[in-house]
Amino acid sequence: MTAPLRERADSRIEGEEPTVRLDGVSKIYGQGKNSLLALDNVSLSVHPGEFVCLLGASGCGKSTLLSLVAGLDAPTAGRIDTEGHKIAMMFQEPALFPWLTVSANVEMALRVQGVAKRERQAKAAEFLEIVHLDGFGAKRPHELSGGMRQRVSLARALAQDANVLLMDEPFGALDAMTRDLLHDELERIWRERNLSVLFVTHNVREAVRLGDRVVLLSSRPGQVVEHFPVELDRPRRTDSTAVAELATTITNRLRQEVLRHGR
Ligand SMILES: Nc1ncnc2c1ncn2[C@@H]1O[C@H](COP(=O)(O)OP(=O)(O)OP(=O)(O)O)[C@@H](O)[C@H]1O
């Protein structure tokens, strides 16, 4: 069984600069009596081409951490370095514009970058092909299934020309079969494009299925409790014995952590 190695986790490849680095990051919401410490002194790196999954009890600050890395909010203390890297974010809800076609939703990301109209259409078609949605460009989001809408969202993230993908429970609302298919798709795209991925999930097996490393956060305030390298051959199956075994180890650790906090 793979042992958790805290020391090794942030020195994966010597001399290689991380794409995302958090140093002693804390986040307090509000002020005075009503203030809430969401993250406490979190240090964490994601290396080029690395797939890191973030697990933790509900409310431990996972989404907060992603929003800080995305620059949507500022840390109260500590430092976040993503300099020189382009970041795209995906949420549980695909957040597509319902009045636009699928193609126009993807084109929006290109428009922001100043890509000319004719080129936009061709490029959007390419990105839709990457997520296996060729031929669906003229549809509206409501005409697609939940899994297909998440594919559009992924195509839009890729169209942002990002090398860092932040994913906040992107498959949490999908059925198990669709989720399995999207795991395969995401793994293929991650490898082909050498993306650095920071992926938040509640699903321990999903984290082991996808991650090079699973990082466990404590209950609030979120602190890094342990790093679990996942040294299993890819592609992995969510229902394989090896995935289940490591998932059990991590779940037990997570349970300990939750009980320690009495919730
Ligand atoms: N904008 C905000 N203002 C005040 N408190 C907030 C804000 N955003 C989050 N919080 C609080 O910070 C804590 C961490 O929230 P966050 O959403 O980051 O946790 P999470 O681990 O992603 O939760 P979940 O797993 O349930 O999605 C929670 O107690 C939440 O209520």
For the stretch 11-67, pLDDT in tens is 455 557 999 999 999 999 999 888 999 999 999 999 999 999 999 988 999 999 999
Q: Which atom of ligand 1 is nearest to the CA of 200?
A: 22
DSSP run (H or E) holding 209: helix 204-210
Query: Is this prediction's ipTM beyond 0.85?
Result: yes
Which residue intervals of the chain bear CATH 3.40.50.300? 9-85+163-260
For residues 90-99, average pLDDT: 90
- Vertex 52 angle, CA 262 and 159, to 5°: 125
- Vertex 158 angle, CA 156 and 160, to 5°: 75
Model confidence band, residue 188 (pLDDT cutoffs 50, 70, 90): very high
- pLDDT of 4 above 70: no
Radius of gyration of the chain (CA): 19
What SS3 state is found at 26? Answer: strand
Model confidence band, residue 3 (pLDDT cutoffs 50, 70, 90): very low
The more confidently predicted of residues 232 and 11 is: 232
Q: 133 Cβ partners below 8 Å, 6+ apart?
A: 102, 148, 151, 152, 155
- Which CATH fold would you assign to the domain 9-85+163-260? Rossmann fold (3.40.50)
d(C-alpha 225, C-alpha 16), whole Å: 24
Predicted structure pTM score: 0.91
For ligand 1, whether the C-beta of 43 sits within 6 Å is: no
d(C-alpha 136, C-alpha 205), whole Å: 31
- pLDDT of 108 above 60: yes
Around 215, how many Cα atoms within 13 Å sit in the side-chain half-sphere?
Answer: 26
36 Cα: distance to centroid of ligand 1 (angstroms): 10
Tell which one of 60, 92, 206, 219 to mutate to probe ligand 1, the residue whose CB is within 8 A of the most ligand atoms.
60
Q: Which atom of ligand 1 is nearest to the CA of 66?
A: 18
Instruction: Write down the residue that tokens 């929006």 correspond to.
Output: 108
Averaged pLDDT of the chain: 90
Q: What pLDDT does 220 receive?
A: 87
Query: Ligand 1: which residue has its CA nearest to atom 9?
Result: 64
Instruction: Write down the residue that tokens 């169209």 correspond to.
Output: 159
Q: What pLDDT does 95 receive?
A: 86
What's the Cα-to-Cα distance from 121 to each of 20, 102, 110, rounded to whole Å?
Answer: 32, 11, 9
For residues 230-253, average pLDDT: 96
Query: Ligand 1: which residue has its CA nearest to atom 3?
Result: 29
- Cis ω on the peptide bond leading into residue 235 (within 30° of 0)? yes
Q: Which atom of ligand 1 is nearest to the CA of 27?
A: 12
